[in-house]
């Protein structure tokens, strides 16, 4: 009897898997479903301040963002290798180095430049090699919530950290430990069927 049950269990599992493949119900999810925008924040943290940076950001800065309406989460990433792994264990192939590559022109089939097939990709991040070592990505629900970022940051900082001069404190304690810092805003597409390019928009 046990053998029969196991036999039919395998059949049902196979049928279930076939149905998932056929119906597409096992599709991958967006990293943050429902996010309308994200802000990519790159920074070059000074040598020896890497652990400090992550701790300061998570304990002092993150709660300020988390208190804002429409803030949906974040990721912190780094180009610094995992100290628990040997270098070869983070070798993901010539097209996928950890961080920006040391070459600008890399062989890549099919790519065209101005109508001419070059089979070469231009890895512009290579030009930024050494200009950043950490990246924080902030996810926002919609344009309205992202517009509230700058107006709400100061008041939220003061309320949560008991500091009446948030920007002065950040300049002294935070930005002084960074060699550089810049932000870029991206709009998330492909989740709700909206048009990517709006006709008539200037």
Sign of CA dihedral 175, 43, 45, 126: negative
* Domain around 154: 30-80+132-187
* Residue 104 structure tokens: 């600008």
With a pLDDT cut of 90, the percent of the chain lying above it is 53
Q: Which helix (H) or strand (E) holds 152?
A: helix 149-161
Which residue, 138, 126, 132, is CA-closest to 78?
A: 132
Per-residue pLDDT tens over the stretch 119-170: 888 777 887 888 899 999 999 999 999 999 999 999 999 999 999 999 999 9
Residue 103 forms part of a structural domain:
no
* 202 band by pLDDT with thresholds 50, 70 and 90: low
Greater confidence (19 vs 116) lies with 116
Greater confidence (198 vs 65) lies with 65
pLDDT at 6 over 50: no
DSSP 49: -
Looking at residue 161, what is its pLDDT?
93
Q: How many domains are there within the chain?
A: 1
With a pLDDT cut of 70, the percent of the chain lying above it is 81
Sign of CA dihedral 153, 154, 159, 163: positive
- Full-model pTM: 0.75
Per-residue pLDDT tens over the stretch 23-68: 444 567 777 889 999 999 999 999 999 999 999 999 999 999 999 9
Residue 75 forms part of a structural domain:
yes
CA 107/CA 93 separation, integer angstroms:
12
Q: What is the CATH number of the domain that holds 152?
A: 3.30.70.100
CA 75/CA 73 separation, integer angstroms:
7
Looking at residue 147, what is its pLDDT?
97
Which residue has tokens 């701790």?
55
CA 150/CA 27 separation, integer angstroms:
36
Report the range of poorest mean pLDDT among 31-35, 101-105, 177-181, 190-194: 190-194
Residue 2 forms part of a structural domain:
no
Residue 196 forms part of a structural domain:
no
Which residue, 137, 118, 132, is CA-closest to 180?
A: 132
Looking at residue 107, what is its pLDDT?
80
Residue 102 forms part of a structural domain:
no
Residue 192 forms part of a structural domain:
no
Residue 183 forms part of a structural domain:
yes
Residue 158 forms part of a structural domain:
yes
């Amino acid at each position: 009897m046990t053998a029969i049950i196991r036999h039919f269990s395998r059949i049902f599992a196979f049928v279930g898997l076939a149905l998932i493949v056929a119906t597409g119900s096992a599709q991958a999810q967006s990293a943050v479903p429902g996010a309308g925008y994200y802000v990519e924040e790159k920074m070059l943290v000074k040598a020896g301040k890497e652990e400090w940076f992550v701790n300061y950001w998570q304990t002092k800065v993150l709660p300020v963002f988390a208190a804002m309406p429409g803030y949906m989460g974040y990721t912190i990433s780094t180009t610094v290798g995992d100290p628990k792994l040997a270098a070869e264990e983070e070798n993901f192939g010539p097209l996928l180095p950890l961080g920006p590559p040391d070459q600008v022109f890399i062989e890549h089939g099919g790519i065209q430049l101005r109508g001419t097939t070059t089979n070469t990709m231009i890895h512009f991040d290579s030009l930024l090699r050494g200009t950043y070592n950490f990246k924080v990505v902030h996810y926002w629900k919609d344009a309205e919530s992202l517009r509230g970022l700058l107006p709400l940051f100061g008041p939220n900082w003061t309320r949560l950290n008991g500091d009446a001069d948030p920007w002065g404190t950040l300049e002294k304690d935070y930005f002084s430990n960074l060699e550089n810092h810049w932000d870029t805003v991206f709009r998330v597409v492909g989740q709700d069927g909206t048009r990517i390019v709006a006709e008539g928009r200037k």
